[in-house]
Chain A
């Protein structure tokens, strides 16, 4: 096992993001009451703590649901609005298990937004793209060796999400940024199907 593989194998702080489709017009502030309602009803995974409104910002999280394990956020990095789930607390299991669990948590939350009454069905996520990033520059420096070490595990997740899809991976090139990979497939499944596949 390479050093990079050993390092990435201990990675815990994984964040995954799905993107809103082109037709969705969403004011992130509309999600604030939804997140509060999720806390009241324990609608999503985790110990849900509070909602932070960063909708005044032009980059990064816009509205954030803080949990003990990490956070959910309507996120706007790169000018692309989407839903991100960032895991911070340690989990048991192999990296592949942790990645799978994070994806399941994210897709479940995405489905809840898509079907939320107060959002009137305005929210649709595209199933053909998934961004994964590592909030840990020690275990996952943004270098080619990290990509090579991470690729098999990530591709395993992608093959679960889209077994018949042809996924291409693009790594963020700036070494100072977090290690991140954008996976894009030639076709995308709806979130309900992804949810079933990840169950």
Chain B
């Protein structure tokens, strides 16, 4: 008995064959006939991800304990136990869902996961705690409703995203949905997209001014534009390339101010070919296209792409879809009708105020379903599908703010829709406000999470929801985004207040912290990234939010945005506001600071023993690390003052000082001479892999080496900005390395003579 037999012809042939092949690969892996790395990429390309603790061990608060899965040595990738639960990512192109698809997703969440559907920051849906053996059947059930998980992860073209208001937005130039959909179909499984060194993300936006398309942070982003040619309006896209958040964020570069609609797919293909041919393959940390664009320069990159484009063999798919574009688009389920008499209910009015957007089509609105942390239960999703069938048909989208929108709601239906949503627990107001917090999974389920992004977001949400009615409107409209680590899945760079998880070492213990970023832009497609102010203990972050928002409310000029406010008062002042919050209280005084939100376990690896000698050396090291933090901060200020050369030198100096601090754990007489610092650091910490992070390996060290090898300081703002980001990451890696060293039972002695070899 299987879903394969039951669904039969409802599974499209091509998808069915792919899933059969995948199932065979699972069987072959079980027989030991496929290499671990190959199988890992195979399952990733089908969206089957690893999940925290899938290496078979976990710190339960008393120490690291083995999780004895009955896998009998079977693995599903390097260091990944077969029977450990995983995460299934499900691509939802441009966030578009039908009611039937929602039913299926709801059922899958209950039968293969834990009953929870999670909306991601790229309009995907994720299910957690899924066993790999269940994934083929899960995929077949998705295929039967027209969803593929192919290329949801891995070094592929990921979900193609688009503004969830496309087609109904009052400010858009035109509906980008058909172009997003065509791009997804064209690129999926295309031979030219199968040999990337890293992932490739595509987004479309209908306008320049709003955030929802997030073009600025994508590998390829298209903003809808038109021009008049001989009296005819021609559609095209203002195309940007090489944007991205991640550890080192890059703002996208203008590739073409007007790419005609006919050229969108061939240009995507040409870019894919250039990326596959010239993109980095060995060093994952430098393999995104943003590094290639930065390395080549946008002009050379553009030239190469144009050259590649001219050499492409014509493909009828490039323009075949365009004939259908005018006829595409959703049809309203009901004739539009205004709301004549609104119910005299505070709850309804509040919900309408934050969750309802008037469409450009008269009589219709978009209703946002606010999902706390992007989660809803399978039962709620199925009930929501029913409401969609009743009120809007299949006009449903997920959003990058981890919500769901129902489009084409007849305005007159709003009271009834609100009542029905309330009856299933989905009438929470506050969409798009400071209480609608975006958060990646973080330490809850992600293997890379450092601190609990969801724990923090839940706590902030609890506090802010209570304060919403008393908050000034200027503060209500701010955005907060939280990531569990520097990889930016929570998109912390493009919010007014952004946080990403880091750790700090104090008194022999590791303390959860969040790096505070202020002044990112949640407008203009994520038009500017916030810069780090400093790391604050996790438990002080609610106070950070309170102080910063209060200051903003008190001191903002008329109509001043938070970005402008932060720029005006400057990061030095902002840091001053938060300075006392950066201190770590004693463990006896505040034991809660040594635990993460929603987790009673001691944070990190628990009971760390620090020897007397190491204690002295550690304090010297920490002194250097604190100095390095100051230099990074100064570098940001220099950048603000438009002095990229000084910013570069300060960021470089910060890395040198941090490296020097680490060297002092072995060689206390290290000089200030950069070449000696780099040489000693390389010998003692890089060649020995002592500095290496389990996942990032030595990539952060390479930031120092690369800058050291440069002949002189950067003169361009973008380059200096990147170096500051790299210095920040190098510093975080140094803190982590220092914590690892401190936890070793026999730390190395300080004061020994310079010598090759490292910590044993």
Contact = CB atoms under 8 A, between A and B. Distances in A.
A98 B577 CA distance: 60
B70 interface: yes
Interface string B109-129: 011001110000000000011
A47 B67 contact: yes
A109 to B, nearest CB: 16
Interface string A143-177: 00000000000000000000000000000000011
A47 B129 contact: no
B78 interface: no
B53 interface: yes
Contact of A52 (B424, B444, B461): B444
Contacts of B114: 52, 61, 64, 66, 71, 73
A7 B376 contact: no
Contacts of A57: 116, 372, 375-377, 425
A61 B115 contact: yes
A81 B458 CA distance: 20
A65 B95 CA distance: 31
Interface in B66-117: 67-70, 83-85, 103, 107, 110-111, 114-116
A63 B360 CA distance: 42
A10 to B, nearest CB: 7
A32 B67 contact: no
B1 A138 contact: yes
Nearest to A64: B114
A39 B64 CA distance: 12
Contact of A77 (B60, B377, B426, B454): B377
A57 B373 CA distance: 9
Interface string B467-504: 00000000000000000000000000000000000000
A59 interface: yes
Contacts of B375: 54, 56-57
A36 B598 CA distance: 11
Contact size range, B: 35 or more
A3 to B, nearest CB: 10
A57 B115 CA distance: 11
A154 B246 CA distance: 52
Nearest to B111: A135
B116 A60 contact: yes
A56 B3 contact: no
A59 B3 contact: no
Contacts of A61: 114-116, 377
Interface string A90-103: 00000000000000
Contacts of A56: 372-373, 375, 458, 461
Interface residues of A, number: 38
A13 interface: yes
A59 B383 CA distance: 12
Nearest to B131: A88
Interface string A12-33: 0100000000000000010011
B61 interface: yes
Nearest to A59: B377
B83 A68 contact: yes
Given A36-B60, A49-B85, A53-B458, A60 B3 contact: no
What 6 pairs between A and B have smallest CB-CB spacing?
Answer: A60-B377, A58-B425, A56-B372, A33-B600, A59-B377, A53-B598
Given A10-B1, A49-B67, A58-B425, 20 more contacts: A32-B600, A36-B600, A47-B70, A49-B53, A50-B58, A52-B114, A56-B373, A56-B375, A56-B458, A56-B461, A57-B116, A57-B372, A59-B379, A59-B425, A60-B115, A60-B377, A60-B378, A61-B115, A68-B83, A138-B6
18 contacts: A29-B598, A39-B60, A40-B61, A50-B52, A53-B444, A53-B598, A56-B372, A56-B375, A57-B372, A57-B377, A58-B425, A59-B376, A59-B425, A60-B115, A60-B380, A68-B70, A77-B379, A177-B382
